[in-house]
Structure 1
Amino acid sequence: MIAAPRFPSRVSIREVGPRDGLQNEDVILSTAQKVRLIERLADAGLVLIEAGAFVRPASVPQMADAAEVFAALSRRPGVVYSAIVPNVTGAKRAIAARVDAIQVFLSASESHNRSNVNMSIGQSLAQAADIAALSRAAGVQFEAVVSVAFGCPFEGDVPLERVMDLTARLFDLGAQQVTFGDTTGMGHPGLVHDLTQAFYARFPQERLRLHLHSARGAGLANVLMALHLGVDCFDASVGGIGGCPFAPGAPGNICTEDLVHMLHEMGISTGIDLPALLDVARMLEGMLGRTVPGQTIKAGLCKHLPPDGSPRLP
């Protein structure tokens, strides 16, 4: 008889729709629309929200008003409003905007790093060191994201050792958490298994976060494999919108409401009000003027499902 798998009892979800989702949209929302989206997500129980990016407006015009968005937010106590930054200039702007957490991002391949931020990996690491120092001085959380950890659209497979060595450098700089990004959806359950096992073998005291994509349909299958291995931190995007504009074939963020629905069905708590989150996804459809890729918004909730993911009574 096969033993039943043991999953985490609760999962932490960081909502990345206001940044990673919107940056790949042709429609550029107004500052007021972005603020409304973020505040509605917080109302639905999301306590980790990636609210913007401090990058060159010419490169990512969808994020040009990041400072204005942070200034206009009515911040809910207990919610961490984070932003991603590629360099010291972006970090200074983020700190001035009073972000709660900074996520520095760099790639596990030279080709993607140069495409994404126009720097070598070594140059990005040097910037990360300065950003870490700025964050400490400002009392801002410092985290890191390793993009294309599951494969690069330019170079193909990325050696596990390179991902782990890069992760070690980031922890040495003081990163409070490192996220592995499946930037173009090249991950599959076997690779998730290998990367996750390698991470825990080398960093047994650290907590891994995964930013997985569904570009090729494997997103939730990859989450399930990660849950088997004890991962309890994931990124997801409301409506399933978004991707990386600097990598071919990058659409397909995991849809937040689809992920939450699956977790709640499994009896795993998230603290998120799923009906309220579906209302946010419907609002987003109106803002974008199109249907979003998420499936739960189309199929509806299972009628017996508790809205907050609390375990069902037998």
Structure 2
Amino acid sequence: MDNPKVNIVEVGPRDGLQNETTSIATETKLELIQRLAGAGLKTIEATAFVSPKRIPQMADNQAVMAGLDLNADIRYPVLVPNLQGLEAAIEAGAKEIAIFTATSDSFTQKNIQCTVAESIQRFIPVINECLRHNIAIRGYLSTVIDCPYEGPITPARTADIAQQLLDLGCYQISLGDTIGTGTPERVKRMLVTVQKNIPAKLLAGHFHDTYGMGIANIYAAWQMGITTFDASVGGLGGCPYAPGASGNVATEDVLWLMQGLGVETGVDLDQIVQTALWISHQLGRPLGSKTGRARAITE
């Protein structure tokens, strides 16, 4: 590739923190976002406008948004599940949202209490309202390799739902290996099918590292032309509806890979490592990335 570049979508402040059982102060979340922005990240998923009964950690979404400079040269997408969530996000000043579904009915029933087809129908009024307010829409598609309840997912099924999300009006579809069981060749086979109708520039990779394959799968996807990847500082996060699924692939591990490939990200690796160490300390947990631990030892 000539002058290759990759865009990192940082999901730590939302996807990484949403399942923490101990309440995290709004000030800590805002400092995390500030540190991530200071390291050069240009897209940082800030929060989610979901039911506080289901995801208590995101109950301070309005306060988080109020603490951000929404006119800065940084995108702060927020997750919304329905029209009610969108209305709250608009009130908070959101300029970009993310909607989410999966390839399997079993997973969507556990996650958002409806079938895949019902979730698509639920998004229609959300997207219409977004278009009316000039709000960008990103689509998350979970379980693109395997479902924890239904097993392997055919590439054709992934391609079909990805196309439906794109047709609804999403500018990009993030393909999620939610339980981290994907391997490079399976990822490539899935992408070959998806890319028959959807160009790589409209796709992103969202890989979990449950079996240690996150970075290998990102490399495979990059070889297939994907140039946007979701990542979470310190490897924070996981999925409560995917038993045994560990955290997202760590931002610093992705940066180390891209640095080795000579790929530009615009993000400072050392600052991300320091941020990973800081937030891990705030959460009282060990750092969850190999690059972070290695750099911490050598510095």
Say yes or no: TM over 0.5.
Answer: yes
Q: CA 1:205–1:196 in structure 2 vs 1: closer, same or farther (change >3 Å)?
A: closer
Give the Cα separation in 1 of the matches to 2:2 and 2:257.
13
Please name the residue that 2:118 is paired with.
123
Shift of residue 9 of structure 1? 0.7
CA RMSD of aligned residues (A): 1.7
Shift of residue 23 of structure 1? 1.4
2:143 to 139, 142, 148: 148
Q: Which runs of 5 or more residues in structure 1 are unaligned?
A: 1-5, 304-314
CA deviations 1:22-81 (Å, max 9, x no partner) are 112223211111011111111110101111111111111111111211111234721000
Please name the residue that 1:264 is paired with.
259
Could you say what secondary structure the match of 2:57 adopts?
helix
Q: CA 1:187–1:53 in structure 2 vs 1: closer, same or farther (change >3 Å)?
A: same
Q: CA 1:208–1:8 in structure 2 vs 1: closer, same or farther (change >3 Å)?
A: farther
Please name the residue that 2:87 is paired with.
92
Give the Cα separation in 2 of the matches to 1:225 and 1:9.
15
Please name the residue that 1:212 is paired with.
207
Once the two structures are overlaid, the 10-residue window that deviates more, 67-76 or 114-123, is 67-76
Runs of 4+ in 1 over 6 A off after TM superposition: none
1:278 to 247, 257, 273: 273
Give the Cα separation in 2 of the matches to 1:281 and 1:28.
19
Shift of residue 205 of structure 1? 7.1
Please name the residue that 2:43 is paired with.
48
Once the two structures are overlaid, the 10-residue window that deviates more, 174-183 or 288-297, is 288-297
Q: CA 1:292–1:27 in structure 2 vs 1: closer, same or farther (change >3 Å)?
A: farther
Could you say what secondary structure the match of 1:86 adopts?
coil
Q: CA 1:88–1:76 in structure 2 vs 1: closer, same or farther (change >3 Å)?
A: closer
CA deviations 1:247-279 (Å, max 9, x no partner) are 211222100011101211221110001111112
Q: CA 1:133–1:193 in structure 2 vs 1: closer, same or farther (change >3 Å)?
A: same
Q: Is the 8 A contact 1:7 1:230 kept in 2?
A: no
Aligned sequence identity (%): 38
The 5-angstrom pairing of residues 150-299 of structure 1 reads 150-204=145-199, 206-299=201-294
Could you say what secondary structure the match of 1:293 adopts?
coil
Shift of residue 302 of structure 1? 11
Please name the residue that 1:22 is paired with.
17
Shift of residue 7 of structure 1? 8.0
Please name the residue that 2:63 is paired with.
68
